[in-house]
Structure formats: structure tokens, C-alpha cells
Amino acid sequence: MRFSAVSPYNAAAKLRLPEKVVVYDSTLRDGEQMPGVHFTLEQKTSIARKLDEVGVHQIEAGFPAVSESEKAAVKEVASLGLDAEVLCLSRALKQDIDAAVDCDVDMVLLFIATSDLHLRYKLKMTREQVLEKAVEAVDYASAHGLKASMSSEDSTRSDVSFMADMFGRCEHAGAARLGITDTLGCGGPEAVQYIVSSLREKTKLPLSAHLHNDFGLATVNAVAALSAGAEAIATTVGGIGERAGNVSLEQFVMALKHLYKKDIGIKTDGLTDLARTVFEAARLPMPANQPWVGPNAFSHESGIHVAAVLSCPMTYECVNPEEVGNRRRLVLGKHSGTHIVKSRLDEKGVSASQEQICDIVRAIKRAGEEHGRVSDDEFWSIVNDVVGRPAPNPDCVEKKG
Ligand code: MN
């Protein structure tokens, strides 16, 4: 009998996804915009190299207009000779585009807000002025030999027909890509799908989506954007970024691969190492329950789960931990049962009676209720107390001639 590791119903639904899916990772830009996070130049180049190694297609390396050192970092990443294309962010302003030109990037990600709220309180511009600025920026970038993408900031609160108008004019001005942004993460999958599919009808250019996780829907929204005809999705490692963060690279790639059977060529076994590098550089603790790459992503404590995992890992793991470069941890604590104890004793060739094993389990549960996780040292000291000096199993003793 064949067993399915993930629910078969997602793939059965036959979501229509584009032939080509592009990940443009923004760990170095939106990720670094997370309050309190700053990457040094060395950290940026090493993160960029690791992103390239796992096969990310495009790297958004920064926002050159922010500072001279930010600009230097973008320039440096662009000069590394990576397989990934290097992109940078730019307002629809000449001085920003000049900075991008200096960095010698493959494409500039222009943006201008399109929601009436942002027009009134931030840009203090009319819709006509926004259209003019957007077209001017695409023109200017193209004239300087830069491929230009134009995104409408705050798309999920913008009038779709106004965005369509702007995108049409930008396409005419020579833009290479157009992007929607759920800047506040305040659109659900239906909103994202509606906006992308409406704009899909109006332009032939590739569409991108930059999405946030404020309602915890970033990955869902990314899949929704693809299904509506977008082809490029902005991600960040671990989903770091402003406020609640962005689409997590790991979650997005793994959802596409396993739930929707779409392999986009990312080498998933490098994801845990990449996430550790980024969290360390950002001086952020890796959340224990971070999907796929966190220490608990493949940890089991409950006796029922451990017993089943020891018999067949797929019972409580729908992905093999090695596939994402992580590992399985069988943890001792108040939920432990006899199977993990037996398996640990067997590993070391220690024999114990059924009664002694039950005593060991009781002691582990007591310790777990006192202070949570039971360490290896503590486990062996419990074993010592219960069975005396652990006598090696005679079968495991090397026979001396
Ligand atoms: Mn953002």
C-alpha cells in the first residue's frame, strides 16, 4: 500500500500555477528593515552567497538611497558574480534611480503609492501626478539602461482601475515587470486574487507580488497571487521583515513543492543553514516552532508520537528533516513513554527489565513536570539510579580473543 505524506486533496484541486515561478528574495532589504536589524557588509555578502547557493532566482539587495553604506553593499552584492540576478529598490525619483544605476544591478524595483490614503497623507499628490511620476521614473531608468519593474505600493487598498491605468502607461514606457504590494498585509487571499487577476487581464508583462504577514496569511496570499497569474514572489528567510514580516522563503518553497507539486528548483537542503545564518546575523533568536527550519520542526516528545515515529517517521513527519537540512530530535519530558527509553538504552547496549523501564519513565515524567525538557545527562543519571551502574548488554561487548 502507498501512503501519502501530505494531504492528497491540495494537489487534487489542481490549482493553476504559472509554468515559471520566480523567487525574488528580499531578506537583505525588507528583512533588514525589521526594527533593530542591521547587517554588516560581510553579513550581506555571505547571506547573498547562501541565497544564491540554494538557488534563489533574484536577490533584492537593498535600497541604495537609504545611505552610502547601503549603496556600497548593493554594489558589492551586484559585483559578486552570482547566478541570481541582483535587484534593488528605488522610489520613483531621479536621485534614487541614479543611485541604482551606480550599483550596476540587473533590475530596479521602482515603487509609488497608489492608495488614495497614501496619496493624500504621504505623497500629497493627485492621481494624475502619480501617473506622471511613475511614467517618468520608468522612462528615466530605461534611458539609463536599467530594466525597470514598477510596483504600486499599498495595492490592496488601491483602486484597481487606477492601478491598471498606471500599469498600462508603465508598460507603454518600457517597464519589464509590474508589481502589486500588500504593504500592510491587510489583504486576504481573495483580495490578492482579485487584484492580480484584474491586472493580469490588462497587461502582458510579468507580474510580481510583495506581501506581508500581518494576518498570518503571507504564504497563502503568495499562492493566491500565483494562481491568479503572478509569476514573481518576494520572500525573506524566516519571513523576517517589517512588522509581522514577509512571505517566508522556506514556507513558500515547501508549500509549492509538497502541497501543489511544483518544484521551483530551490535546493531545500540548504534552508536550515541559511535560516540560522540570517537569524544569527540579525541577532534574533530562532523561534523554536519556526516551520521547517526551527529546532522543534522535527522534535517529538509525546510518547505516542515517539513510538510511532520510531516505527515509521511519516506517521508524524510529512517531510523528511534532511530534505530541509534539519534533523529529528526525540526529546525527553513529561510526555515521554517507554519506547524512547527502550530505544536509548538499546543504542548504548544497556539492558533493563520492563519494570525498571517503567520506573525510568516515571522519573522522567516527574523531572519534566518540574522543569520541562529532560537533558541527556539527567536521563543517564536517572538510568543510573534505577538500574545501578549501567551494565553493557553482553551482545554488544566486543569479544576478546
Ligand atoms: Mn514590504
Residues of the chain with pLDDT > 90, as a percent, come to: 94
How far is the centre of ligand 1, averaged over its atoms, from the C-alpha of 153 (Å)? 9
Is residue 119 predicted with pLDDT exceeding 90? yes
- What pLDDT shows up at residue 392? 52
CA of 187 to the centre of ligand 1 (A): 13
| Topology classification of domain 18-281 | TIM Barrel (3.20.20)
What is the rounded average pLDDT of the residues 249-271? 97
For residue 391, pLDDT beyond 60: no
In this model, does residue 223 exceed pLDDT 60?
yes
pLDDT level of residue 398 (50, 70, 90 thresholds): very low
Gap between the Cα atoms of 112 and 61, Å rounded: 19
Distance 29 CA to ligand 1 centre (A): 9
User: According to the model, what pLDDT value does residue 52 have?
Assistant: 98
Looking at 173-247, list the stretches that DSSP marks H as alpha helix, in order from N- to C-terminal side.
189-200, 218-227
Write down the mean pLDDT value for the chain. Answer: 95
**297 touches 250 (CB < 8 A):** no
CA distances to 82, 142, 205 from 293, in Å: 24, 40, 35
Instruction: Answer whether residue 395 shows pLDDT above 70.
Output: no
Query: How far away, in angstroms, is 212 Cα from ligand 1 center?
Result: 7
**Is the per-residue pLDDT at 224 higher than 60?**
yes
CB 48 within 8 A of CB 56: no
Beta strand 329-330 with 147-153 is unpaired
For 81-92, what is the mean pLDDT? 98
Q: What are phi and psi of 399, to 5 degrees?
A: -75, 120
Q: How far is the CA of 181 from the centre of ligand 1 (A)?
A: 8
Is 10 a residue whose pLDDT tops 90? no
How does residue 397 score in pLDDT terms, banded at 50, 70 and 90? very low
Q: Are the CB atoms for 65 and 101 separated by under 8 Å?
A: no
Q: Kindly report, residue by residue over 307-318, the tens digit of the pLDDT.
A: 999 999 999 999
The position carrying cell 528583512 is 31
How far is it, in rounded angstroms, from Cα 193 to Cα 180?
11
CA–centroid distance, 278 to ligand 1, in Å, is 18
Q: How far is the CA of 89 from the centre of ligand 1 (A)?
A: 11
CB 66 within 8 A of CB 31: no
State in Å: Cα 114 to ligand 1 middle.
15
Q: Which residues of the chain does CATH 3.20.20.70 include?
A: 18-281
Ligand 1 center from residue 111 Cα (angstroms): 11
By CB neighbour count within 10 A (0-12 exposed, 13-18 middle, 19+ buried), where does 111 fall?
buried
What spacing in Å lies between the alpha carbon of 30 and ligand 1's midpoint? 6
Residue with cell 521551483: 264
Distance CA 108, CA 74 (A): 11
Ligand 1 center–CA 75 separation, angstroms = 21
